[in-house]
Structure 1
Amino acid sequence: MSEQMLATFRKRQQQAAEEIIYHTQCPFCSMQCKKKVLEEKQGARVKYRTIGVDNPTTKGRLCVKGKNAYQHAVHPERITTPLIKVNGAFQEADWEEALSVIQKNLSHLQEKHGPNSVSLYGGGSLTNEEAYLLGKLARVGLGTKYVDYNGRFCMSSAASAGMKAFGIDRGFTNHIEQIPDAKCIILAGTNVSECQPTFVPYLEEARQNGCFLIVIDPRETDTAAMADLHLKIKPGQDKQLALLLETYILQNQLHDESFCRERTSSYDELRDMLNNVDMETAFEDTGLSLQDIQEAAYRFASAPTGMILTARGIEQQINGHETVRHFLHLLLLTGKIGKYACGYGAITGQANGQGGREHGQKADQLPGYRFIDNPEHRRYIADIWGVKEKDLPDKGVSAYEMMERMEEGEIKSLILIGSNPVVSNPNANLVHKAFSSVSFMVAAEMFMTESASYADVILPTSSYLEDEGTLTNVEGRVTLREASRPLPGECRHDWQIMAAIAEVMGQGTLFSYEKAEDIFNELRLASRGGKADYYGMTYDRIRRESGVFWPCPSENAKQETTLFSESFATADGRAHFLTESAAEEVSKEEIDETYPLYITTGRTMNHYLTGEQTQRSSRLAAREFESYVSIHPDTAAKYGIRSGELVVITSRRGSATLRCSVSKEIRQDTLFAPMHWGGKQNINRLIDSALDPVCRMPGFKRAAVSIRPAASSAGSG
């Protein structure tokens, strides 16, 4: 070997020795793509590369967000030391001082106003371990009933519908690998091409195998472009569409009579209810052609196999629970459930939206998908936690209702972990008032978010590259996110922060964990025998099997590829039809002369949730650096609006200023805006505070608004 070749070889050896590989998975959507991040040190420079890793769900695929997710983890704006607000300005502090301030204020408020004066608000991106611990901290560490999380705005409609209809709420009723063999698929209110891009190959393969794809969406999205039939529905009319589809199937005897008689309850009552549907009114409400509706019903009912996949488009409605229930009826009426390539999938939005609601950070739940108002469930969890059942608090209220309690003065304090409610909540102006009203607020955060800026104490928390733990992906597969990057500065993991708060509040003995795996082993016991049973899982088994599905009651339990093949998880083993509307059904906001247009909201390819992480990625921000509103050309002309100019959109709650994008892909009566930006671009300022009477979901997908050029607005002021 020549001297030159030897020198080159040694140089490569030296470079290789300076390369660090972090094995992890994407922190964003529920596909939870596995990947490795390579950190390469070349002198003073550090470069990063991301490579997809093969796994059962996404096969090594990554989208643009996953490829660039490392950028927020290494961003210079990360908070790496505790901050305490003094005279309106944040000052650096050490952990002892920060925790002392927390202990002093929380103790004072609870002594003066009672345990429920304190509240906790979590997020759907927390690991299972941290979601579990948040619920435990609320109920045992602080003794408060006020705990909920941002997943209330993501999956609560699908969750409550699945529980009522099937007796269980797991993302998919069958493994994702069955999708390519479904001969008809309904995508109801989901734009997977932008929101879950690594999911799309399953649909492409299904189409290659002869699947008829039906997409229900007010917009002509990239997902809709894949469809054989696109139902460009009027916002908020999805329940009416489902009723029409059900009725057509029954009237034309396309249903599976034996399945309905043998596997469901209230079938005759459903038939009676559908006979009373005002078909003419329901048809007019949808904004669709009768021919398209009939074709959709026929195609789905007559296909030998079929699946229905729902997402926020039909779920984020103030009748979201009932809407999802009626789409589930289509599966039950046609017998397309409990069989191979037949079933339901709720396409979760957040990284751990599924697991986050299974283990107790939701107001009405305890670990294992138990319920806090069930005496037997309370006793079981109290025994696991080593407390008395009578000392567990009662059920609290939903995420938005907690904001109302703050604004009214009932809740005096907030501990916020993993969420940004100022941007993500409906009626965002009220959230500003709520956060301004509390006496004391703590935020565990990586960045100075709109919500964190209200805090009195900010505790620096870890990123996904540093925080090990389990997450439950879109299909109900529990995965293990490895995390080996050292914590920067004085950052701590969320679970360490919660344990530290419990300790200063006098409950440290119940929160003495050395690592995330210790919490998971306690979670296993707490979930044992529950609907979401994780008892048979261990970190080693999850690693060995590349993820484990629940329910998993024992370490040698066989993994079910298809739920409900023999019976449903209800008390009587049958699926339950919904045969009457909720007594408290809330009326949806209608357009009028003052507010003549509908607006619907959603996500884009390049950003995630409130954008605090993705907007700190230079590559993602460069692709989409500001928000926008889509408007049909005819509508733009009617209101004197030109493409590219700033416009003001106003509802009865507030206004937002956005860049206008003229597009024929949107309905003429509808506007669309993404939900990733705060400040004046915060579209959630426009959303009503009305909630679904069953699951407490806000109506993000429909509000009545007006639109005008920003320039004329400024001139008239």
Structure 2
Amino acid sequence: MPTHAAHPATGPTHSHCPYCALQCGMTLTPNAAGAGVTVAGRADFPVNRGALCGKGQSAAQVLSAGARLTTPLVRSAAGRLEPAGWDEALEAVAAGLARTRAAHGADACAVFGGGGLTNEKAYALGKFARTVLGTSQIDYNGRFCMSSAAAAGLRAFGLDRGLPFPLEDIPRTGCVVLVGSNPAETMPPALRYFAELKANGGTLIVVDPRRTRTADLADLHLAPRPGTDLALALGMLHLVVAEGRVDEEYVRERTAGWEPARSAAMAHWPEYVERVTGVPLPHLREAVRLFTAAGHAMVLTARGPEQQSKGTDTVGAWINLALATGRPGRPLSGYGCLTGQGNGQGGREHGQKADQLPGYRKLTDPAARAHVAEVWGVPPASLPGPGRSAYELLDALGDDVHALLVMGSNPVVSAPRAAHIEGRLRALGFLAVADVVLSETAELADVVLPVTQWAEETGTTTNLEGRVLLRRRALAPPPGVRSDLDVLRDLTARLAPEREKGFPTDPQEVFDELRRASAGGPADYAGISYARLERDEALHWPCPEPGHPGTPRLFLDRFATEDGRARFVPVTHRPAAEEPDAQYPLHLTTGRVVAQYQSGAQTRRVAELNKAAPGPFVELHPRLAARLGIAEGETVTVTSRRGEASAPARLTPAIRQDTVFMPFHWPGRGRANTLTNPALDPTSGMPEFKVCAVRLERAQPRD
């Protein structure tokens, strides 16, 4: 079998960006004398059509030896991380895991993965956890991304895929309601789709408590209080019913459960919704008119409504609005979720989530367990059951979880109640981290393993459209750096040598096994091969057979439920887990800035990105600043019930007067996630990143 890991390209290589879920097409051209690669956008790739944001343009800088890890590190008796050989480092990891398992049982060992891992690595990591360690304790940082939308999509449609239609459909629809998303900052090449929508005569409605650069493009901007998106959606559905705008034929022919959902919505009178959300009733009515008057229309959600303790119900309410107006499963219409992380879609489809097996199969389904166990060559009964969701797993560290292997994640910065999670990581008996850079989490580890990154390895990712893509290796990694697949094979050789053959290091071989494991599952990749991907970048799952064209548009004939009907789910508004009070009178909401990405572990190592976004800040309204006596640029302290963070004030009328905003890319005193609330959605396990109660004051009183 040909190996895609052995030799780097000598000329230009078609690849894809390592950052967000657009997975923009790019060409990597080796520089003279082997000094890295030059990045250029690919005009022939339909998602970005040649455009790249600053992160994509500068992505190659993280490939340089000065920006990343190039040798394993092992903590010495003196407590310092010291350079070590690979054998020493791998022996230390294997010994730490074996020692923990022998003393406390398999579930005392845990695995925490990342939404940036390729499909092959995500698949192998899940297999390693369940067949080598024998642990149920595996989850990944994608739980913090779109798990609420996934849960709501499964509940309504029987299947979760970020977008059930290609991005190219957006400019051709009539109206888009964009809820809690700011693609101008989070995925800039996607903003053109919304600009083209407007140029074509369509309408854009943006729901966001801040007037972002994306909201500036909108025909109508609704700015609800943080945590009230659920009430807003229910208020809009109430008006749809009251004004006779329901698509009765569609509801009758293609859905089930309408009456309970309708009754729940009718309890949310528009005047009540206006009081709860702060959105004026005329704006609410105008949003309903614009959305229902369009011949085609879409609702798109992102982290805003999803990262709440009621995120699944909130997304469900927006899905109910789309269903009542006859949108999902029709051309140029529907509901979709703008997935955030680079491989957030594929990462959860193939085994990193606590409750899922490859192919998006349920771990509790006996038939699914039997199928995957056969591919893996193990008895079905040997597969552990579902484990904890991400925050619950991190919260258990040092308690009944004593050893942790982290691959491609930085929870010290990205987890809610981050100071507490940092303490949990420090309480572990053993911590190993495999990463590209020495992240804040890796700094706490007993062993750090330097691994390859996007341009140094071949592998597949799945973008927000369900489009499966081949990222090709363009250059060799620095000496001393190995692939995650090598790491998992070498650990298996030490922990369970009889299973070593089940962990090949050639990504194509791993992908071929993934195809077999996913066959017949909801996310069926059986018909997708490296050979097809080499010549075709339009393969969307499900793709069950080699001759199948893939499925760019889902649900056109039926939904993925038993009877083919979409399900309305009755939901009711409830407050956030933590509302402002006399002690903490303001809302805090968090998000991203265009020049940084996620925990910033990689982008904070790029000089030009740091120049554009050098550090954290606290965004607040000038009237709130005047009331508190805060000046532009002055260092302020934001305090919640979980801790405090300090950063310079940034005054802008683009935010509500009862709300402050912080980006979450930085560690230390400006770490926004020190403040955030780990209250979990009961269905998805999503923490409430998007709203908590805080107070704001000057860091130092003036004389």
> Do these two structures clear the TM 0.5 threshold for a shared fold by scoring above it?
yes
- Alignment match of 1:517 (pick from 491, 508, 516): 508
- Can you list the C-alpha shifts for 1:498-522, whole angstroms capped at 9, x where unaligned? 1211121114434341410100000
Aligned position for 2:629: 640
Q: Return the offset for 1:629.
A: 1.0
Which secondary structure state, in structure 2, belongs to the residue aligned with residue 465 of structure 1?
helix
The aligned residue for residue 478 of structure 1 is 468
Partner of 2:453: 463
Q: 1:453 is matched with which residue?
A: 443
Alignment correspondent of 2:72: 82
Amino acid at match of 1:252: E
Number of aligned pairs?
692
- Give the aligned partner of residue 266 of structure 1: 257
Alpha-carbon distance, 1:280 to partner: 3.6
CA distance in 2: counterparts of 1:591 and 1:36, whole angstroms: 49
Residue 420 (str. 1) matches residue 410 (str. 2):
yes
Partner of 2:397: 406
Q: Which of residues 289, 303, 321 is equivalent to 2:312?
A: 321
Whether the 8 Å contact between 1:115 and 1:143 is mirrored in structure 2 is yes
User: Where do 1:624-663 residues align within 5 Å?
Assistant: 624-663=613-652
Tell me the SS of whatever aligns to 2:31.
Answer: strand
Counterpart CA distance in 1 for 2:635 and 2:29 is 41
* Deviation digits for residues 627-659 of structure 1 (CA, Å, limit 9, x no counterpart): 111110000011111101111110000001111
Aligned residue number for residue 608 of structure 1: 597
1:598 maps to 587
- Identify the match of residue 363 of structure 1 among 351, 354, 364: 354
- Any idea what the Cα deviations from partners look like across 1:458-484, whole Å, max 9, x if unmatched? 111112110210000111100100112
Give the secondary structure class of the aligned counterpart of 1:526. helix
Cα drift, residue 41 of structure 1: 2.7
2:654 paired with 1:665: yes
| 2:236 paired residue among 203, 225, 245 | 245
Distance in 1 (CA, whole Å) between partners of 2:505 and 2:37 is 30
1:129-140 aligned within 5 A: 129-140=120-131
- What CA deviation, in whole Å up to 9, does each residue of 1:340-391 have, x standing for no partner? 1101221111000111110010000000000111111111111110000111
- For residues 269-304 of structure 1, give each alpha carbon's deviation from its aligned partner in whole angstroms, at most 9, with x where no partner exists: 222222333544332111110000011011111210
> Which segment is superposed worse, 367-376 or 496-505?
496-505
TM-score normalised over the length of structure 1: 0.94
CA gap of 1:672–1:586, structure 2 versus 1, over 3 A, is closer
- Per the TM alignment, residue 47 of structure 1 is displaced from its structure 2 partner at its CA by 7.4
Distance (whole Å) between structure 1 residues aligned to residue 485 and residue 701 of structure 2: 51
For 1:353 and 1:470, the matched residues in 2 are separated by 12
Q: List per-residue Cα deviations over 1:387-439 (Å, max 9, x = no partner).
A: 001110010011110112114x1000000000000100000111111111110
In 1, Cα distance between equivalents of 2:594 and 2:326:
35
Query: What's 1:175 paired with?
Result: 166
Deviation per CA, 1:513-536: give whole Å up to 9, x if none.
141010000000000000000000
Alignment of 1:672-683 (within 5 A): 672-683=661-672
**Is 2:379 the counterpart of 1:384?**
no
> In the alignment, is the contact (CA less than 8 A) between 1:470 and 1:481 conserved in 2?
yes
Using the alignment, how far apart are the partners of 1:328 and 1:679 within structure 2? 39
DSSP-derived class of the 2:677 partner:
coil
- Counterparts of 2:74 and 2:432, CA distance in 1: 10
1:174/1:344 contact within 8 Å kept:
no
Whether contact under 8 Å (1:631, 1:663) holds in the other structure is: yes
Cα RMSD after superposing both structures: 1.7
Distance (Å, rounded) in 1 between the aligned partners of 2:462 and 2:474: 20
The yes-or-no answer on 1:695 pairing with 2:671 is no
Cα separation, 2, equivalents of 1:552 and 1:487? 33
2:47 paired with 1:57: yes
The amino acid across from 2:508 in the alignment is: E
Query: 1:113-149 CA distances to partner (integer Å, 9 max, x unpaired)?
Result: 1000100000000000111111101100110000000
| Aligned counterparts of 1:75 and 1:655: Cα–Cα separation in 2 | 35
Residue 456 of structure 2 aligns to a residue whose secondary structure is coil
Counterparts of 1:64 and 1:109, CA distance in 2: 43
Distance apart, 1:624 and its partner CA: 1.1
Check conservation: 1:75, 1:616, Cα contact below 8 A.
no
How far 1:56 moved relative to its partner?
2.1
Unaligned runs of 5+ in 1: 1-17
Residue 348 (structure 1) aligns with:
339
Provide the secondary structure at the position in 1 that maps to 2:91: helix
CA contact (8 A) 2:485 2:503 kept: no
Residues of 1 paired with 2:36 and 2:407: CA distance?
30
Partner of 1:255: 246
Amino acid at match of 2:212: T
Deviation of 1:234 after TM superposition, in Å, equals 0.9
The match for 2:5 is none
Whether the aligned pair in 2 keeps the contact of 1:480 and 1:547 (CA below 8 Å) is no
Q: 1:104 & 1:565 partners in 2: Cα distance? A: 52
TM-score (norm 2): 0.96
2:210 aligned with 1:208 = no
Aligned match of 2:521 in 526, 530, 535? 530
What whole-Å deviation, never above 9, does each CA across 1:237-285 have from its counterpart, x for those lacking one? 0000000011100111101001101111111222222233354433211
**Matched residue of 1:262: which SS?**
helix
Kindly provide the amino acid, as one letter, of the partner of residue 392 in structure 1: L
C-alpha distance in structure 1 between counterparts of 2:455 and 2:581, whole Å: 49
Structure 1 residue 177 displacement after superposition: 1.2
Inter-partner Cα distance in structure 2 for 1:598 and 1:514: 48
Shift in Å, 1:496: 1.5
Retained in 2: the 8 A contact 1:245–1:293? yes
Partner SS for 1:690: strand
Structure 2 residue 552 is matched with structure 1 residue 568: no
Deviation at 1:49, TM superposition (A): 3.2
Decide whether aligned partners of structure 1 residues 256 and 58 sit closer, same or farther in structure 2, where only a CA change above 3 A counts: same
1:16-165 to structure 2, matched below 5 A, reads 21-41=12-32, 46=35, 49-53=38-42, 54-86=44-76, 87-165=78-156
In structure 2, the CA distance between the partners of 1:638 and 1:175, relative to structure 1 (3 Å rule), is: same
**Which of 483, 490, 494 is the matching residue for 2:480?**
490
- Over the matched positions of the two proteins, sequence identity in percent amounts to 41
Task: Using the TM superposition, give the Cα deviation of residue 109 of structure 1 relative to its aligned residue in structure 2, in angstroms.
Answer: 1.1
C-alpha distance in 1 between matches for 2:253 and 2:37: 57
Supply the distance in 1 between the matched residues of 2:459 and 2:67 (Cα, whole angstroms): 25
Shift of the 75–232 alpha-carbon distance from structure 1 to 2, 3 Å rule, reads farther
Counterparts in 2 of 1:430-445, with a 5 A limit?
430-445=420-435
1 CA distance for matches of 2:30 and 2:527? 35
What one-letter code is carried by the residue in structure 2 that aligns with 1:56? P
Give the alignment of 1:287-326 within 5 angstroms: 287-326=278-317
